[in-house]
């Protein structure tokens, strides 16, 4: 018996000394201590021994078992450590290699202008409202005092899905939606894309963007409109810029005005950009027509309001001196990368 134990002891020792990987340690463990292992077989065979021999042999087997378990544990820790070292050596990072530069894009000039417009108006207490680009005739025209067959619809021909559903021609339908869903005081701007059946040229595109504004409260006057737009123009183009109101017509405002700002390029002296006038038109505005208030559920004897619609491409091109609207949509990186510090 002692011989057999010595044999097992030596063979395990030899196998452990030769073991090269932590996986083979497990094989050794199974071959000795597993259910069908050599030492387990010895324990199973103890029944054949005499009662006097049994405890002595049992003690020896258990002592060997404890010894082997200790070896297995140490060897496996040793191998695991060695394997970790090998892995670390193989994975060495050379932190002196120059990194690959991540190409940074920059904001599109239209987005930059829109962000600026939003920050100017939110600074004056406006909140931002949104509406759908696929719009109902009711909101795009009817509730804005443009009933079916009104001649002013001609200037805003658009893309129709059917008689009542169209691509919105302006952001003004958001006015109607807001008045129907909120009670005064109302102070919103609504930026977004709009659509018209226009041919593409330097100043027209079938898709463009506007930013609508609407203020409704008791006692709102044309003076409030003028003050708001003057502040906006100064914040956007700088000190010394003011606005000029020219009488105009929009069915949804009465009175209505086309609003010009001082030409930022010549500071009003007159140049090629402003065609010698010193002024540049950037938006339409007016006092909300009482008919519109009434149709949208607001009492026109109690409340008044003003509204305006800014053309964002126009404002952008004036701000950055871009001569052709198409440049904003063509996505030519040579053009776009001029608007930021980062590389495109």
Q: Which residues bind ligand DAH (CB under 6 A)?
A: 170, 172, 212, 250, 253, 284-286, 307-309
Return the structure tokens found at 211: 């930013």
| Other Cβ atoms closer than 10 A to 343 | 12
- Of residues 12 and 285, the one with the C-beta less far from ligand DAH: 285
- Of residues 192 and 268, the one with the C-beta less far from ligand DAH: 192
- Of residues 58 and 255, the one with the C-beta less far from ligand DAH: 255
Q: Are 111 and 142 in contact (CB under 8 A)?
A: no
User: In the complex, what is the shortest distance from the CB of residue 298 to ligand DAH, in angstroms, rounded to a whole number?
Assistant: 15
Q: Are 307 and 252 in contact (CB under 8 A)?
A: yes
User: In the complex, what is the shortest distance from the CB of residue 258 to ligand DAH, in angstroms, rounded to a whole number?
Assistant: 8
User: In the complex, what is the shortest distance from the CB of residue 169 to ligand DAH, in angstroms, rounded to a whole number?
Assistant: 7
- Of residues 216 and 318, the one with the C-beta less far from ligand DAH: 216
User: In the complex, what is the shortest distance from the CB of residue 126 to ligand DAH, in angstroms, rounded to a whole number?
Assistant: 13
Cα separations in angstroms, 31 against 1, 23, 190: 19, 13, 78
User: In the complex, what is the shortest distance from the CB of residue 102 to ligand DAH, in angstroms, rounded to a whole number?
Assistant: 41
Residues 6+ apart with CB under 8 A from 192: 130, 131, 133, 171, 174, 209, 210, 211
Strands of the sheet containing 304-311, edge to edge, are: 127-128, 186-195, 207-217, 304-311, 279-288, 253-262, 243-250
Q: Looking up tokens 């109607």, which residue turns up?
A: 176
Cα separations in angstroms, 39 against 19, 29, 51, 260: 20, 10, 20, 100
Q: Give the helix ranges, DSSP H, for the chain.
A: 2-18, 22-33, 38-44, 53-90, 109-123, 137-140, 173-181, 222-237, 290-295, 312-320, 333-336
User: In the complex, what is the shortest distance from the CB of residue 93 to ligand DAH, in angstroms, rounded to a whole number?
Assistant: 59
- Of residues 76 and 209, the one with the C-beta less far from ligand DAH: 209
- Of residues 253 and 304, the one with the C-beta less far from ligand DAH: 253
- Of residues 39 and 312, the one with the C-beta less far from ligand DAH: 312
Whole-number Å distance between alpha carbons of 133 and 140: 10
- Residue 144 backbone phi and psi in degrees, to 5: -100, 20
User: In the complex, what is the shortest distance from the CB of residue 272 to ligand DAH, in angstroms, rounded to a whole number?
Assistant: 26
């Amino acid at each position: 018996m002692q011989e057999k134990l010595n044999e097992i002891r030596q063979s395990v020792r030899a196998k452990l000394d030769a073991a090269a990987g932590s996986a083979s340690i497990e094989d050794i463990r199974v071959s000795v201590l597993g259910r069908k292992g050599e030492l387990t077989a010895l324990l199973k065979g103890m029944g054949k021994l005499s009662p006097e021999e049994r405890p002595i042999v049992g003690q020896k087997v258990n002592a060997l078992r404890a010894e082997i378990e200790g070896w297995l544990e140490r060897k496996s820790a040793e191998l695991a450590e060695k394997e970790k070292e090998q892995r670390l050596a193989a994975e060495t990072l050379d932190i002196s290699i120059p990194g690959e530069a991540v190409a940074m894009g920059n904001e599109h000039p239209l987005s930059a202008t829109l962000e600026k417009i939003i920050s100017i108006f939110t600074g004056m207490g406006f909140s931002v409202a949104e509406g759908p680009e696929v719009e109902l005739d009711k909101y795009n025209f009817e509730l804005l005092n443009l009933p079916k067959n009104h001649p002013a619809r001609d200037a805003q021909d658009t893309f129709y899905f059917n008689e009542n559903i169209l691509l919105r021609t302006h952001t003004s339908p958001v006015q109607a939606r807001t008045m129907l869903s909120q009670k005064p005081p109302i102070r919103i701007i609504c930026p977004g894309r709009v659509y018209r059946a226009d041919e593409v040229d330097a100043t027209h595109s079938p898709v463009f963007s506007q930013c609508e504004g609407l203020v409704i409260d008791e006692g709102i006057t044309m003076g409030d409109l003028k003050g708001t737009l003057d502040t906006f123009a100064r914040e956007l183009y700088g000190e010394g810029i003011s606005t000029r109101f020219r009488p105009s017509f929009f069915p949804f405002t009465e009175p209505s005005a086309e609003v010009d700002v001082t030409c930022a390029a010549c500071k009003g002296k007159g140049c090629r950009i402003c065609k010698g006038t010193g002024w540049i038109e950037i938006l339409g505005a007016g006092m909300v027509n009482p008919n519109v208030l009434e149709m949208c559920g607001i009492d026109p004897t109690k409340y008044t309001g003003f509204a305006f619609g800014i053309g964002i491409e126009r404002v952008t091109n004036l701000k950055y001196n871009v001569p052709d609207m198409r440049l904003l949509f063509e996505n030519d990186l040579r053009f776009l990368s001029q608007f930021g510090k980062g590389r495109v």
